[in-house]
Structure 1
């Protein structure tokens, strides 16, 4: 066990810094809106720009990792995150910050799926499930630490220094990945690769599986990116209180990632557990604007955080189970994340747009109900899809 964790330490360390970096800009939206003279809708588009870069490169990154080297693509991703985080801090107008933040999204896409593929190569079901839970939990820990930390740093030094620090952290973790020992089995050089990729893309159950976890993508994106901004606009919490709430939302992912990662792989009731978790997450998301008591509201947000990571852990585990010992795993994970980001890409801008044309309550209701509807695409409801694959 100790040897296993030591082997995976470079990926785990990189994932932690990746999480710290992911939401570095989020607490600064109010400051950016004021200093760069942006409108509310432009702030929504800045948040969305990250996912505009993230979405297509989840797909592209999976292909490159399968053909070249997951570790190499991970290193490139970390370099882009670091470089463009620093450049985001240098932005002086909407176009500059939009393009820089979009490039951070590109780097994030190149990191996430290839890094997970490195952890899963050639491993048994129990090990894959456990590593997936830890991998997702570390993102939550990093995000939780980061959001509160960035709020404090922003209040002292301004938002630009936060972006510089986050960029330097991403660059500093790159040497860890050079020490990771990559298996030859993670690279797919067969001439059949295009056929394999096409088979994955054309399988309707893959699409159904990816979209069924849509509430996970919406939760992570809207709560992670917009809750602090929403709290400040509606005056329901102070910036520090809302930042701490979101931080603990991510940290609560430790429990969801660990518990589901430890037990889901051995369960005989995977479909029920998956669908039930997704439905409860959706209903809690919808309830956010209806909760007036701040203590209950923070509790609801924290529970959503744990269930979101649990849901995404089950999703990734299912994808990796389908492609166990397959060299197309990086592509499969990238394709799965691509589908998640199709859902996430417009949600920050849509959240603000709905609020401007109605109110923020409708934003939570409409997005939450959309996530609830998507749950019923889960292919395990219609066939035995958990482990058996794509036939």
Structure 2
């Protein structure tokens, strides 16, 4: 760096200066761009968007030089990967891990020498029977043929029960992994499953491990996504003014899968915990949501058909108006196209029809419109796009664990 060039004050200036020093161009349609990586509204780092293959090859060739040049002020890491080919794919960033791969060298193909290769004797007519030669499949046919389906064990056997159990475990594992709960969301559902969540007289949600305890205050905003996903129900068992929080049958099944298969909790902040959740796969809420989506699709298809039919009627009406206006303009000697509206109920005389040579089809249309004018068809109203209205699930009946709490309190 020359003495007249000031030191870079930002990471973007430092890496851009290093890459331009290698002969690369910066900007849209050039070799590279420098931008930032944002997560949850915060900038986590700066990286280089490599736009051309030439730039990727130059960066991979001078990777160590780029890191040495930026090590004093704003250090950057240069990663080089090949993905099974001989062309390098370079990435530059001031965060994350540094990866350096070596190009894969293809193994030399070994071909037998001419003197070592044994000659293949030609088959004679006595070696291969005609029927065998016709029915024996070729290697190309064997490669193109689909793989045979595995044979299932007979129903009712031990192997069949084991196979069905393995399939069910695999499905339950997928259902548990698809929940996407955080640790606090799983703990909230566990509290609701023990009948410990309820609202006090002031409308504050509290967790009471035992009946009669004052309880701990819980953020009510965390309930909304769990209720909309069908895991939790808020109801009033004893009339207005006393609200309780309990799990639905989907929530109880999902909590069982969570405790049995123990998927990795998703790290979420308070804002992310208020985002919508995916319902339980194969649960009651998912079935209701699919039914509501199917009904909404049928309603929209019916509205679309009605709209297309109305548009076709409107086009036919506009064609009638064009025929009437052209005939009226021809008879009146009008050449401009301003307005394009003929008087209502207008019908040319016989002399005008013969003088201006109006076609019989045009005359028939004019007579029909003069007797009974066709009104302008109106387009139907379209329902605006709205979220699906899925009915909330009721609370599941009390379990043995919930009844045991009341037994201990007595």
TM range (shorter): under 0.3
Q: Give the structure with the higher percent helix.
A: 1
TM-score (norm 1): 0.19
Identify which of structures 1 and 2 has the higher relative contact order when contacts are C-alpha pairs closer than 8 Å and 6+ apart. 1
Q: Who wins on radius of gyration, i.e. which is larger?
A: 2
TM-score (norm 2): 0.18
